[in-house]
């Protein structure tokens, strides 16, 4: 049986685990293993005490023949097969450099970025590295990622075990951020003296079949923040981004023939599904909205090659952002902030565009050069339902389809370095730095020339190298990725408090509450049709449980991140067709919300640091905002948001 196997690969190539603070033995779950998994039941993602469950990354090994085709999965249950797994997680954020903007964009050409914790000379004390850990595939005893510390304080990074079939299961940290010396939180992403328990690192395996030891291509695991909207995909997923990276490099090929079902409808669907996490998208693209692409009549026209529908396709395509055409306009789709977002826009990267590969698919669709019926069957609901030869690609895609590539500011799971082919040995599969080889030191500051050099940090990767570019601690960026950001100077009748937005598919902006769902679904009282319509249209600010100044909210986010609601799929059971068959609803938050309006903390208005330091100046700015917008006092948070001043021009 082993003769047909030439080598093996671990899948997914990049696995995604997520932190959680549930301490129950069953307080975790497997991450997606197919691109379109069935929704979990309401209440699934938190335990009975309201703690967030951890998402596990599960890894499998597939044997490949000499032609590069997956022949079968390898497990210790196979005759004469032995498997040993090894994982080396680390968190190196605090010893790396501050995040300002992606170091590879024009905005950063002449910017030197300082080290985090620059005053600490013992740089090793800032690195949480428990060292490599091994486990035999037949040993069900968990192995803890302990032994690492931050400034002398032990920091566990999670654990791993194997399941009954010998698959590796990696669980990340508890979501706890630490501050041994009492430093204040002052930034969305660069807080000296702080650490968290996200991490990343290589996943390797030793596989023997009888006396023969196979070559096994390794994988990587990333331990990321929680996914607060697990059934929503963003418009440009991390899988979309990485496929585009390799298509542009010539390593992968875009589809030779565009399929509406496979290539176009999913992008249109994502615009509509964002209705559950952003009120602006709900109004324009949601159920009953003017651009509700999923309406059966609209979808039939969008999927038609008929010449009579050409102008409809053209209007959709030309509504999408083209940086060369649109410059700094926020109007084109998608209504997302981009890699270069700041309160003083200086480049078209202020806003996001779809990837060139996505754009090419949609251009062919606009021109009618597509198959309206191809691949209509979609992907399987379970990995076991797919042919073995298809399973590796499904695992690779599923892990990355629920991650963000819009925008890398810095992002939720990983950030901009992943779009450089120099980091990969093959598509989606990272180059590993040799065991025991330390990463290069670059000095007190890091500039674009160093980053992009042939001996820079975008080459072979070691433990902690993917997440080192991310925010520290992760919670401060989570509570900073909002919608409708504006400076006080930019307000006027064309200001939209809901759009543009950062990352709503992972960190919601506005949500359908449990209370409103029960009204829509006729579970409370005897609501009139107007009351049901009002409830469906209402969206509560997901951040309404936060209070105080921007820095107060950073601290509360770090302490109470698990209290935010998680957007879950609920059935619409009335059966009258007035609303979607599936609604996505915020689980009841853990914050005390009695008397808190749904629109509390809705708007974030940025002022310079000098204004933010004076209570009277903040009050005056808030008054101006209320006069210009008609918003209520509870809806407005005014302060200095360093996320909007990445180059420090307003400090």
265/319 same-domain check: yes
Q: Are 163 and 169 in contact (CB under 8 A)?
A: yes
Q: Are 99 and 114 in contact (CB under 8 A)?
A: no
DSSP-assigned letters across all residues of 197-216: S-EEEEEEEEEEETTEEEPE
What is the three-class DSSP state of 9? strand
114/184 same-domain check: yes
Question: Of 450, 378, 466, which Cα lies nearest the Cα of 198?
Answer: 466
Q: Are 61 and 83 in contact (CB under 8 A)?
A: yes
Angle between helices 391-401 and 238-248 (to 10 degrees): 120
Is 388 inside a domain boundary? no
What pLDDT does residue 375 have?
A: 55
Choosing from 475, 506, 528, the residue where a domain stops is 475
94/202 same-domain check: yes
463/492 same-domain check: no
Enumerate the β-bridge partners of residue 25.
none
Q: Are 509 and 501 in contact (CB under 8 A)?
A: yes
Question: In terms of DSSP bridges, do strands 603-606 and 636-639 run parallel, antiparallel, or are they unpaired?
Answer: parallel
197/325 same-domain check: no
What pLDDT does residue 376 have?
A: 53
Question: Of 271, 427, 260, 261, which Cα lies nearest the Cα of 354?
Answer: 271
Determine the structural domain holding residue 413 and report its residue range: 7-230+402-475
Is 335 inside a domain boundary? yes
568/465 same-domain check: no
Exposed, middle or buried, 472 (CB in 10 Å: 0-12/13-18/19+)? buried
Question: Of 639, 631, 633, which Cα lies nearest the Cα of 607?
Answer: 639
Copy the structure tokens of residue 493: 């009748």
Q: How far apart are the first and last CA of the chain?
A: 66
What pLDDT does residue 436 have?
A: 84
355/414 same-domain check: no
Is 115 inside a domain boundary? yes
Enumerate the β-bridge partners of residue 46.
52
What pLDDT does residue 498 have?
A: 97
Is 199 inside a domain boundary? yes
What is the three-class DSSP state of 139? coil
The residue assigned the tokens 């990995």 is 383
160/175 same-domain check: yes
Is 209 inside a domain boundary? yes
300/447 same-domain check: no
Quote the number of domains for the chain. 3
Query: What are the counts of helices (DSSP H) followed by strands (DSSP E) for the chain?
Result: 15, 29
What pLDDT does residue 171 have?
A: 98
The residue assigned the tokens 């674009």 is 448
What pLDDT does residue 377 have?
A: 56
What pLDDT does residue 374 have?
A: 60
Beta-carbon-side half-sphere exposure of residue 156 (alpha carbons within 13 Å): 15
Copy the structure tokens of residue 570: 């609920």
Which parts of the chain register pLDDT below 70? Answer: 1-3, 374-377
Length of the chain equals: 651
Cβ atoms within 10 Å, residue 256: 5
What pLDDT does residue 318 have?
A: 98
What pLDDT does residue 3 have?
A: 57
Q: Are 150 and 195 in contact (CB under 8 A)?
A: yes
365/410 same-domain check: no
pLDDT digits (tens, 9 = 90+) for 502-553: 999 999 999 999 999 999 999 999 999 999 999 999 999 999 999 999 999 9
172/211 same-domain check: yes
Instruction: In whole angstroms, give the CA distance from residue 595 to residue 207.
Output: 60
What pLDDT does residue 1 have?
A: 45
Instruction: In whole angstroms, give the CA distance from residue 418 to residue 405.
Output: 10
CB under 8 Å to 319, separation ≥6 — which residues? 332, 333
What pLDDT does residue 488 have?
A: 79
Is 394 inside a domain boundary? no
Instruction: In whole angstroms, give the CA distance from residue 262 to residue 531.
Output: 38
170/291 same-domain check: no
Enumerate the β-bridge partners of residue 222.
16, 200
Is 496 inside a domain boundary? yes
Instruction: In whole angstroms, give the CA distance from residue 413 to residue 169.
Output: 18
Cβ atoms within 10 Å, residue 595: 6
Copy the structure tokens of residue 602: 């809705």
Q: Are 479 and 557 in contact (CB under 8 A)?
A: yes
Is 71 inside a domain boundary? yes
Exposed, middle or buried, 593 (CB in 10 Å: 0-12/13-18/19+)? middle
The residue assigned the tokens 């999923």 is 294
CB under 8 Å to 36, separation ≥6 — which residues? 378, 379, 381
What is the three-class DSSP state of 108? helix
Q: Are 601 and 543 in contact (CB under 8 A)?
A: yes
CB under 8 Å to 31, separation ≥6 — which residues? 15, 16, 17, 18, 55, 56, 57, 58, 398, 399, 402
């Amino acid at each position: 049986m082993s003769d047909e196997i030439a080598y093996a690969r671990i899948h997914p190539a990049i696995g995604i685990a997520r932190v959680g603070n549930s301490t129950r033995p069953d307080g975790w779950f497997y991450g997606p293993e197919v691109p379109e998994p069935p929704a979990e039941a309401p209440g699934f993602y938190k335990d009975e005490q309201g703690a967030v469950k951890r998402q596990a990354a599960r890894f499998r090994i597939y044997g490949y023949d000499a032609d590069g085709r997956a022949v079968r999965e390898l497990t210790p249950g196979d005759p004469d097969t032995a498997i040993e797994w090894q994982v080396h997680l680390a968190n190196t954020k605090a010893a790396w450099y501050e995040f300002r903007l992606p170091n590879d964009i024009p905005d950063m050409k002449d910017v030197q970025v300082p080290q985090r914790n620059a005053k600490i000379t013992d740089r090793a004390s800032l690195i949480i590295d428990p060292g490599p850990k091994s486990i035999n595939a037949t040993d069900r005893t968990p192995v803890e990622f302990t032994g690492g510390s931050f400034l002398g304080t032990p920091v566990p990074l999670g654990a791993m075990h194997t399941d009954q079939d010998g698959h590796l299961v990696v669980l990340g940290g508890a979501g706890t951020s630490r501050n041994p010396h009492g430093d204040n939180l002052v930034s969305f992403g660069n807080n000296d003296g702080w650490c968290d328990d996200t991490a990343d690192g290589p996943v390797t395996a030793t596989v023997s079949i009888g006396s023969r030891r196979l070559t096994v291509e390794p994988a990587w695991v990333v331990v990321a923040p929680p996914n607060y909207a697990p059934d929503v995909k963003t418009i440009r997923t991390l899988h979309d981004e990485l496929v585009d990276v390799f298509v542009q490099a010539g390593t992968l090929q875009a589809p030779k023939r565009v399929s509406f079902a496979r290539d176009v409808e999913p992008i249109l669907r994502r615009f509509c599904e964002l209705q559950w996490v952003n009120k602006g998208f709900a109004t324009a693209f949601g159920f009953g909205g003017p651009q509700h692409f999923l309406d059966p009549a609209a979808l039939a026209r969008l999927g038609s090659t008929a010449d009579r529908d050409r102008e409809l396709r053209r209007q959709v395509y030309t509504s999408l952002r083209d940086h060369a055409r649109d410059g700094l306009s926020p109007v084109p789709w998608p209504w997302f902030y981009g890699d270069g977002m700041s309160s003083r826009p200086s480049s078209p990267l202020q806003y996001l565009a779809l990837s060139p590969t996505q754009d090419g698919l949609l251009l062919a669709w606009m021109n009618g050069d597509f198959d309206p019926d191809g691949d209509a069957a979609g992907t399987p609901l379970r990995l076991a339902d797919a042919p073995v030869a298809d399973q590796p690609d499904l695992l690779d895609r599923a892990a990355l389809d629920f991650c963000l590539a819009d925008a890398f500011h810095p992002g939720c799971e990983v950030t901009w370095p992943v779009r450089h082919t120099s980091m990969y040995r093959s598509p989606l599969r990272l180059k590993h730095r040799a065991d025991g080889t330390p990463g290069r030191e670059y000095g007190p500051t890091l500039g674009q020339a160093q980053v992009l050099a042939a001996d820079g940090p975008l080459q072979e990767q070691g433990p902690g190298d993917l997440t080192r570019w991310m925010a520290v601690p992760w919670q401060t960026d989570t509570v900073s990725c909002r919608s409708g950001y504006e400076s006080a100077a930019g307000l006027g009748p064309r200001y939209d408090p809901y759009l543009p937005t950062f990352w709503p598919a992972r960190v919601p902006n506005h949500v359908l509450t449990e209370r409103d769902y029960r009204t829509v679904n006729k579970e409370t009282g005897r609501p009139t049709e107007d009351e049901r319509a009002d409830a469906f249209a209402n969206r509560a600010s997901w951040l309404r449980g936060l209070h105080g100044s921007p820095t107060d909210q950073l601290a509360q986010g770090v302490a109470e991140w698990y209290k935010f609601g998680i957007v879950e799929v609920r059935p619409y059971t009335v059966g009258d067709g007035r609303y979607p068959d599936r609604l996505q609803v915020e689980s009841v938050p853990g914050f005390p919300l009695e008397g808190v309006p749904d629109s509390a903390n809705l708007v974030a208005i940025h002022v310079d640091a000098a204004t933010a330091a004076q209570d009277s100046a903040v009050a005056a700015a808030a008054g101006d905002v209320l006069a210009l917008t008609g918003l209520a006092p509870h809806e407005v948070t005014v302060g200095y948001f360093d996320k909007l001043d990445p180059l420090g021009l307003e400090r």
